[in-house]
Structure 1
Amino acid sequence: MGTEDRKQRERQAREQLFIDKAHELIRTDGLLALQMSKLAAACEYATGTLYQHFASKEDLLAAVATRTTIQHAERFRRLPELPLGTRSQMLAIVLTDLDFATANPDHYRLMQYLLTEAVWAQISQERREALLTAAQPISDAVSGVVERAREKGDLPAAREISAEEMGLGPWALNQGMQSLANARGLLEAYDIGQPLDHLIRHFHALMTGWRWEPRVDPDEPSVVRAETERVRAVLQETFQ
């Protein structure tokens, strides 16, 4: 192995160490408690060495999020294989995202933080692109379901909205409801319980508004629950 190859491998290993330790500290101490100097000390490196890898704390956090996003996105690659209709496949996408957020709350909070306007602006272009590339399979899964639905006639042909643009609806609904649900006491102040159940009902209202067949009446809770349970059973069988 040449000297340059060895140095590159050492650099990659060091960067991985920083990411691993940062993720660990976020889980134990919380996102806002993470400090670059403390992270460097925990890894037994000088703070300057840490900044040779990450130009800012925001870049470091983006790198942590990128690694977890790769794991998150892996499940979405298999969703087109599910023995479900296209509308149910879209519900499977929402449920898969919800389940990952429930199992990995630190990742969800980190992404919520990174996507705020002020923080996103501080992330370097390179780190932004890496994060977006990691999430691409999720976007591909959503647009793929929309395209198949149009091809099969489950969804009316497009007029002015692309498959990617249509995917904004479920994404915004999912992200928005999770944000509200995680703001402790907020929904309770308005006497709103079971926010994730409401998310699924609003999802079906959106799908029905698009005339996506077969339609599910969002005002029939038993029907909505039955469809959710059916799709969850398929997901569990596929990913067990």
Structure 2
Amino acid sequence: MSPQARKERERAERHQRIIDTARELAESQGWEAVTVRRLAELIEYSQPVLYSHFAGKSAIVTAVALQGVADLAVVLRKAHDEAAGPADALSRVSRAYLDFAAANPARYEAMFMMNVDLVWGLDAPQPLRDCFAELEALFRPFVAEADLGARTEVAWSALHGLATLDAHGRLRPDLREQRLDILVAEWLAAVGADPA
């Protein structure tokens, strides 16, 4: 390996270590605990080294969010691939979404609730488009292409609402499955689909 290639690999590893450490710190202590100074102490790099990778905390949170969205897309795709059909996919992918949010509260917060430099939509980075495409794939068998984007955004909003309310202890844990069943049944009824 050439010295230049080794330098690039070490830089990429350091970059990823900063992201991983920020995510782990946020998961254990909340995003308020994540500061450039604290990260520098934890990974034993100087603050200028961290600033050579990221402009500041917001850029680090954005990197955590972008990787989180990419990971969520993989989780959703796997759940969709395991489904027995379109109706089952709605249920499995919705459950996978809510499970991901519950298992990764700080990452989910970075992805969808914090002020980060990620813009959803047609010009979004590829991981965001991939994640949204996984949600769109759920409704493609049921609705016309012209309605697909809006239908997906409404469904995503419902999932996000459930995830957020659940994360903040506003929903009864014993009704989690019932809520999900009702949501999927309402989606299917709205598009005139057979729940079987």
**TM-score normalized with structure 2 length:** 0.81
Q: What are the equivalent positions in structure 2 for 1:91-170 lying under 5 Å apart? A: 91-114=91-114, 119-120=115-116, 123=117, 132-147=125-140, 149=141, 155=142, 158=144, 160-161=146-147, 163-170=148-155
Aligned-pair identity (%) = 24
Q: How far apart are residue 193 of structure 1 and its match?
A: 7.2
C-alpha distance after superposition, 1:113-165 (max 9, x if no partner)? 33xxxx13xx278xxx88x4224433222323333x2xxxxx3x62842x233
Bigger Rg over Cα: 1
Name the counterpart of 1:205.
Answer: 186
Name the counterpart of 2:163.
Answer: 178
Q: How far apart are residue 182 of structure 1 and its match?
A: 2.4
CA pair 7-124 structure 1, distance change in 2 beyond 3 A:
farther
Q: How far apart are residue 50 of structure 1 and its match?
A: 0.6
User: Unaligned regions of 5+ residues in structure 1, if any?
Assistant: 150-154, 216-226, 228-240
C-alpha distance after superposition, 1:67-106 (max 9, x if no partner)? 3333332233334533522122122110111122222233
C-alpha distance after superposition, 1:53-76 (max 9, x if no partner)? 111211101212333333332233
C-alpha contact 1:65 1:110 (8 A) present in aligned 2: yes
Q: How far apart are residue 47 of structure 1 and its match?
A: 1.0
Secondary structure of 2:44's counterpart equals coil
Tell me which stretches of 4 or more aligned residues in structure 1 moved more than 6 Å: none
Separation of aligned partners in 2, 1:83 and 1:29 = 36
Secondary structure of 2:84's counterpart equals coil
Number of matched pairs: 193
CA RMSD across the alignment: 2.9
